[in-house]
Amino acid sequence: MEMSQLEFFLKVIEEGSFSKAADSVGRTQPAVSIAVRRLEEEVGAPLFDRSQKTPTLTEAGEVIHDYAQRILSLRDQARESVAELRSLKRGRVRVGANES
């Protein structure tokens, strides 16, 4: 499972179409469709009902939607934490304590 697959999946939900999602992320519609299809293959279930003009989430899609949001949020938090760590000045802090 790749982050880009999850990002494209969420973008299709947000935009309501594969074409609009592709435009939004600067990719072609086939590239977004392939990424989502590979995600579907990996989880073993279709994530969208494509029989309508607007793709709608299947039950599996609803489950993956929740996890995708959490995974990408955790990724962003990890990046922020590392950025904060890198912005600190170099050096060591030593703390000593005596038992009383």
Asked, for residue 99, whether it belongs to a domain, the answer is no
Instruction: Please provide the DSSP assignment of the chain as one string.
Output: --HHHHHHHHHHHHHSSHHHHHHHHTS-HHHHHHHHHHHHHHHTS-SEE-SSSS-EE-HHHHHHHHHHHHHHHHHHHHHHHHHHHHHSPS----------
- Per-residue model confidence (pLDDT) at position 89: 61
- Per-residue model confidence (pLDDT) at position 99: 83
Give the Cα separation of 10 and 64 in Å (integer): 10
Domain count, the chain: 1
What's this model's pTM, rounded to 2 decimal places?
A: 0.81
CA-nearest of 9, 60, 65 to 39 is: 9
Asked, for residue 92, whether it belongs to a domain, the answer is no
- Per-residue model confidence (pLDDT) at position 30: 98
Structural domain of 61: 3-83
- Per-residue model confidence (pLDDT) at position 88: 75
The tens digit of pLDDT for each residue in 33-83 reads 999 999 999 999 999 999 988 999 999 999 999 999 999 999 999 998 888
At 85, is the pLDDT very low, low, confident or very high (cuts 50, 70, 90)?
A: confident
Asked, for residue 47, whether it belongs to a domain, the answer is yes
> What's the CATH code of the domain at 79?
1.10.10.10
- Per-residue model confidence (pLDDT) at position 82: 86
